Structure 1
Amino acid sequence: MHPPRLRPILCQLKAARLQRSISTSKPVVELAYDLYEPESSKKNPGAPKNAPVLFLHGLFGSKKNNRSMSKVLARDLDRPVYALDLRNHGNSPHSPHHDYTALASDVEAFINTHNLHNSTLIGHSMGAKTAMCVALRSPSKVANLIPVDNAPVDAALKSDFNIYVKGMMEVERAKVKKQSEADEILKPYAKELAVRQFLLTNLMRAKDGPHMIWRVPLNYLAAALDDMADFPYRDPDEIRYEKPTLFLRGTKSHYIPDETLPIIGRFFPLFKVADIEAGHWVISENPEGFRRAVVEFLQDKD
């Protein structure tokens, strides 16, 4: 065992080595984003900006999912909010490499490119694990962290994403011309209307014909489902994030069961948990509960 005073230094050195070895293995992509400025910045554009918030969506999502909440958080926190499209989603480039180390590298490159400091990372589901990886690998870039309904563990996806992909592939093969046709095809694969509407936000008109296509590369994402269930770090004695962290979990969701709390505490020793009355889709199901938890947590840090 190393003396206690040396452990933080050793953790930082190991994290730096991990980051160098990982970030050079796969090319980063330049992420699309929307920026929501607080009123204070609009009224006085030359004034120094408050610490930014980066908002990361989940699998099959995009920056558009978080548009309304980004505006609300920019207003309530008086901070700029960057809503990102992660690789293979929204308007960001596609890549066959889709795992959390690649996703984290993209976000780190975004922070560097935009010269952001003391950032808060908020991520839902896939975005939560991405945000956790960034914080663990690059703690100096992240002032505080809010993972939403996901834990730093290797666990099978607890919803039906593989079934959704099968339905989406059937839509693609059918070359539908209307969104309503796609909805009918998806019904056996996603019985809840809200889920189908969420998936259908990825449907767009093809440039080379009257049919509709998916904005996301289904072949890449289908191949990445196991990686999305995984978490790339196993040993919290080697890498940890020792800054304020708030885990938000839906009371009707099973993504952060109580048995994961000990390992969460080892990776993120300054963590808190807030339960929100919702399923896995916490932000859309209970936006006010989500907003209140985030604002209360971050106002304490200002």
Structure 2
Amino acid sequence: MRSVIFFKRCFNKRPSFNIDSIQDLPFSENIELAYNFLQPKNARINLNKTPVLFLHGLFGSKLSFNSNGRELTRIIHNPVYTVDLRNHGDSPHVLPHNYITMAHDISKFINDQKWNKCILIGHSMGAKVAMLVSLLYSKLIEKLVVIDNTPHSQRLDDSYYNDLLAMCEIEHDSKEFKNGDMRIVDIDKVDDKLKDYEESSHVRSLLKSNLIRTKKDIERIPKNKQSTEAFKIPVMNFYKHNIIDSISSWPNLHVDKFNNPVLVMYGNQSKFVLPEYFKKFDEYFTNVKFQEFDTGHYISVDDPLRFVHSLARFIEPKVEESLQTHHKRHHIKVNK
């Protein structure tokens, strides 16, 4: 009952800022995405193996799968990369922000890296981007992992709208949340504000991961905006252009089906991938397996060990010996 009352109270909130006064972002269909090549200590990375590329969800970044990716490369020895999608992390803030454009960004990134193929893993918004890359640029993708999303349109929970509005209100009143020199954001003040909109401490941590917190963050912002911007995501523009509705959509496609292996991971406490949605995958994919997790939407956070081990088995079926070594090092039982 408390959660119902909480979200009704939040959804009745209205923006305190003038939407029409929000300046538009520049337009660009060709950008360079920021990325990380994960190189954990004592990992034997075989650069001849197919690269693995993680795509984060809304409000995430290339850091979202930093820990999972490092564990994965220790087990399978493939090179593992994480990337910031447009308007996230350290990648450029530009319009448009839609799935077709983001899929183009990823195909360009893969080609720029001169990879023949890659194994693509996407979560939530990143899952839809990954599916589109496999359908529109199928020759680039060896295997595909879809984490808790489906190839069809479905309205997002009101909490996403609340979270975006909370970030906008903080950005609008950014001077109240900054320290003496008006550039670094006070994370405790931000958390207190976010609690008015978001109950989940994990989601609040995700939102706070986008705060401008370091000198490097500041250096990426034009000097005339350093005292007014609080987040590394253009949250005000997202609100103005109703990006939440945009990323809940799925484009109308007339494409050949993707025939390579696809693994769909879904949380049984999440509403994103319900059993009645399984047939949606048959419209686009011919070789799909589903794996249920006793988690919510954030599978990699709620059950990180099984998540990584499942990825390892899917990417490298002969990986059992490496998994045994991995779980002995961590003194953990291997889950199948």
TM-score range, shorter chain: 0.7 to 0.9
Q: Is the 8 A contact 1:241 1:268 kept in 2?
A: yes
Q: Distance in 2 between matches of 1:158 and 1:198?
A: 17
The AA in structure 1 aligned to 2:207 is L
Return the offset for 1:48. 5.1
Matched-pair contact (CA < 8 Å) for 2:171–2:228: no
Determine helix, strand or coil for the equivalent of 1:82.
Answer: strand
Q: Tell me which amino acid in the other structure corresponds to 2:248.
A: A
> Which residue type is aligned with residue 229 of structure 1?
S
| Cα offsets for 1:27-47 (capped at 9, x unmatched) | 221110000247334xxxxx7
Please state how far the C-alpha of 1:254 moved relative to its aligned partner. Answer: 0.9
Query: In the alignment, does 2:145 pair up with 1:115?
Result: no
Q: Secondary structure at the match of 1:127?
A: helix
- Does the residue aligned with 1:171 lie in a helix, a strand or coil? helix
Q: Which residue does the alignment assign to 1:105? A: 104
Which residue of the partner structure matches residue 253 of structure 1? 270
Answer whether contact 2:135 2:257 (CA < 8 A) is retained.
yes
Q: 1:234 to 1:212 in 2, by over 3 A?
A: closer
Distance 2:256 2:237 in 1: 29
**What amino acid sits opposite 2:146 in the alignment?**
P
Query: Does the Cα contact within 8 Å between 2:261 and 2:288 map onto a contact in 1?
Result: yes
Aligned to 1:156: 155
RMSD: 2.0
Q: Flag structure 2 segments of 5+ consecutive residues without an equivalent.
A: 1-26, 179-185, 320-336
After TM superposition, list the pairs within 5 Å mapping 1:1-302 onto structure 2.
Answer: 27-37=29-39, 39-41=43-45, 49-158=48-157, 160-175=159-174, 176-177=177-178, 178-205=186-213, 213-222=230-239, 223=241, 224-234=243-253, 238-300=255-317
- Does the aligned pair in 1 maintain the 2:47–2:79 contact within 8 Å? no
- What stretches of structure 1 move > 6 A for 4+ residues in a row? none
Unaligned runs of 5+ in 1: 1-24, 42-46
2:164 is paired with a residue of what secondary structure?
Answer: helix
**SS state of the match for residue 221, structure 1?**
helix
TM-score (norm 2): 0.76
**Number of equivalences:** 271
Distance 2:94 2:318 in 1: 36
Q: Distance in 1 between matches of 2:306 and 2:300?
A: 8
Deviations 1:173-213 (A, max 9, x none): 22212111111111121111111111011111556666761
Quote the residue 2:329 is aligned against. none
Cα 1:301/1:124, change in 2 over 3 Å: farther
% identical equivalent positions: 32
